A and B are shown apart, each in its own frame.
Chain A
Amino acid sequence: MPLNIEKIRGDFPILQTQVHGKPLVYLDNAATTQKPQVVIDAVTDYYTTMNSNIHRGSHYLANLATEAHENARKTVQKFINAQYDHEVIFTRGTTESINLVAFSFGEAFIHPGDEVIVTELEHHSNFVPWQMLCERRNAHLRMVPMTKDGELDLEVYANLLNEKTRMVAFNHVSNSLGTINPAKKIIQMAHDAGAAVCVDAAQSIQHIDHDVRDLDADFYVFSGHKMYGPTGIGVLYGKEKWLDAIPPYQGGGDMIDQVTLEKTTYNKLPFKFEAGTPNIVGPIGLAAAIDYLNSLPFDEIMAYEDNLLEYGRGLLQNIDGLTLYGNAKKRTSILAFNIKGIHHYDVGTLLDTQGVAVRTGHHCTQLIMKALGVSGTVRPAIALYNTKEELDTFEAALHKVKKMLGK
């Protein structure tokens, strides 16, 4: 069944916005996606009908809220095909999930002289926490470089892996170039070398496959707000054996079992990693987003987005002086570019006057920008509610930008 894009667009009320008197063309989806009405309603309903603190309450509302919150965990579990719901830890977002793994895994398993592998394609959020860990534990950070097409150099990766490698952290999809990395292969190679892996799925979960058991990921992290859910909620999936083997990240309420002056024992999974009153409504909104995605044929979403991406690339390739970045054989969502002689901020600002929302800058990937030899790029990113007509509007707007800047 093909997607009914008109109906889908109707599900996202913000898409009706007029910007400077023009219809909004929202192409900043790699930064955050818009929310369907069902997500907005789920958040409102929570506060309207069940708001209460969870897990230890003894009253009606507390039970309602706890059930909704824990049902959301099961929804996430099913969506990523985790074996147990207690392998799903709620966090503030991808960044916090990675910091949690870098800290807790590092405490247990990283010793002086050990090695952690990251890649040149990483968002700073999947680079800096590992760099900090290596500094803390006197370990060594190694980096898999990218090729000129924006793919990971797997030969170098194979050579970097050795008996000292404890962790390989990489993104499934690059937020700056849209490269789809061969996650299964990368994970298999890491496991063969005896290392664990942490997959940053922030830019992949909404666009491509997201089966943690098929991937055999040890840790797998993502954010709600980039997959049509609310901000401030993220997920850390970890295999039970790892989550049991690593210490808590933060101390406080909800994560404890018994507290005495001498020693505190910790709560069971997942609560061991959820100190303090959590973002109660966040998972409920995220579950509504997942239910929404589940109501659509995911294969069709992937095919539709692929089609849009290639259509967009075709439009951009015909513009004089435009350089498109990232030419990986497998790619999704991202259209990164610069126009000769024009600063990316000027492009973004002038597109905005025409109602077109894009992201400009280094996108928290200074290593990629350095490899490309640029200070930043213009980065439109598509989502399932975008259309070819919107890309046409964007292209026309770009021509106008060029004209305004005398190029």
Chain B
Amino acid sequence: MATISDIQAEIVENFSFLPQWEERYAYLIELGQKLPPLDDTLKTEDNIVRGCQSTVWLQRECRHGKVFLQADSDSLIVKGLAALLMQVFSGQDAEAVIRAKLTFFEDTSLSGHLSSQRSNGLLAMVEKIRKFAAKCAADPETEQD
């Protein structure tokens, strides 16, 4: 599996082919549309990410020290952002998730463009992922948060 930094580099490259913001959003929307919807039974209170104005659900699983993630949102753009986070973090070693520096958000200029509320939501997702990764690293056989 590609490393977290390789995946981030690829995301930045993909965005570099889309100079117009309209194209970038179209790409995010496409990613959002492609991300499979979360089963309704997983849309629990515990899976809701606080800090988002749109609703985001994040399902976390730990298998043999690796973090597996699924996400959904009622906003397609936010779902697209979540899809990028899934690409970066899902399936990675918990230790790598904890250590990883999140750079694609800045390097694609997404951070400067999105409203602070949505940025906060994204950062809240990252925080939830990292917290879970710490739990997964401490007890690699833990399954759920």
Contact = CB atoms under 8 A, between A and B. Distances in A.
B75 A346 contact: yes
B21 A353 contact: yes
A241 interface: no
Contact of B118 (A345, A354, A375, A406): A345
A343 interface: yes
B21 A345 contact: no
Given A375-B55, A404-B29, A346 B21 contact: no
A343 B21 contact: no
A353 B33 CA distance: 20
B25 A350 contact: yes
Interface string A27-64: 00000000000000000000000000000000000000
A263 interface: no
A194 interface: no
A224 B138 CA distance: 54
A405 B29 contact: yes
Contacts of B115: 349
Given A345-B53, A406-B33, A353 B75 contact: no
Nearest to B73: A343
A7 interface: no
Contacts of A349: 25, 77, 114-115, 118
A342 B54 CA distance: 12
A343 B29 contact: no
B74 interface: yes
A404 B115 CA distance: 19
B45 interface: no
B76 interface: yes
B22 interface: yes
B9 interface: no
B76 A405 contact: yes
Contacts of A20: 21
A361 interface: yes
Contacts of A354: 22
B53 A361 contact: yes
Contacts of A375: 54-55, 74
B26 interface: yes
Contacts of B118: 345, 349
A343 B76 contact: yes
A340 to B, nearest CB: 13
Contacts of B73: 343
B55 A346 contact: no
Nearest to A348: B115
A353 B29 contact: no
Nearest to B52: A345
A345 B22 CA distance: 15
Nearest to B24: A353
Interface centre among B33, B76, B78, B118 (most CB of A within 10 A): B76
B90 to A, nearest CB: 23
Interface in A13-30: 20
Interface string B113-137: 0110010000000000000000000
Nearest to B32: A346
Interface in A334-355: 342-343, 345-346, 349-350, 353-354
A405 B55 CA distance: 18
A343 B26 contact: no
Given A20-B21, A343-B74, A404 B26 contact: yes
A404 B24 CA distance: 11
A354 B26 CA distance: 13
Contacts of A345: 53-54, 75, 77-78, 118
Contacts of B33: 406
The 6 closest A-B pairs by CB, nearest first: A343-B75, A345-B75, A353-B21, A345-B54, A346-B77, A353-B22
30 contacts: A20-B21, A342-B76, A343-B73, A343-B76, A343-B78, A345-B53, A345-B54, A345-B77, A345-B78, A346-B29, A346-B75, A346-B77, A349-B77, A349-B114, A349-B115, A349-B118, A350-B22, A350-B25, A350-B77, A353-B21, A353-B22, A353-B25, A375-B55, A375-B74, A376-B53, A404-B22, A404-B26, A404-B29, A405-B76, A406-B29
